[in-house]
Amino acid sequence: MNHTTDEIEAGWLTLRPFHVDDVPWVYEVSQDALIRHFNGLPEPYEMEHARFFVQEVAMANADRIEYVILDALSRERLGRVGLGLGRDGTGEIGYWAAPEARGKGVTTHAVKALCRWAFRSLDLELIQWRAEAGNEASRRVAEKAGFVFEGTLRRRLVRRGTRLDLWVGSLLEEELMTTIPGRP
């Protein structure tokens, strides 16, 4: 069952399910060195990788919920936010912002909106956050969204044959910070 049939209105942002016409945009944004590095994307990143992500991961995977982050007025694509769903009442958040959308509160606002929706609609008890140690931007987003940093797991992430440390955190529904729908 695909859970992403409806848009999530989040004040100045809208979260909408991925469509096939998002493939070229995903390809373009995935050329960004930071997105490639911290998401462990293939090198080189080809159109077929973007097509697979959109059609097989974002649109057809019952264990994932994936949204494009849009400016609510212009409908400009700004990033992506998603949840991997566990079978034990948990989810794991993942996100990235297009380079031109960084530093504007877009990702934090989208993470809060998706988490709020997931706690209410999916009866999740806990949402996890994981990132490569050193990914300060991801950590800032998680902490601003209310995630509690729990620590560093030593060499738990394998990326391109190298073991790396992994930061972890979590969010409970009662910890989710409230926001005013306007821009931060």
What ranges do the domains of the chain cover?
A: 8-125
CA separation for the pair 141, 169 (Å, rounded): 12
The model's pTM: 0.92
- pLDDT, tens digit, 9 for 90 and up, residues 123-180: 999 999 999 999 999 999 999 999 999 999 999 999 888 999 999 999 999 987 554 4
The CATH code for residues 8-125 is 3.40.630.30
Considering only CA atoms, which of 158, 49, 69, 67 is closest in space to residue 121? 67
Cα distance between the two ends of the chain: 34
Give the single-character DSSP code of 31: T
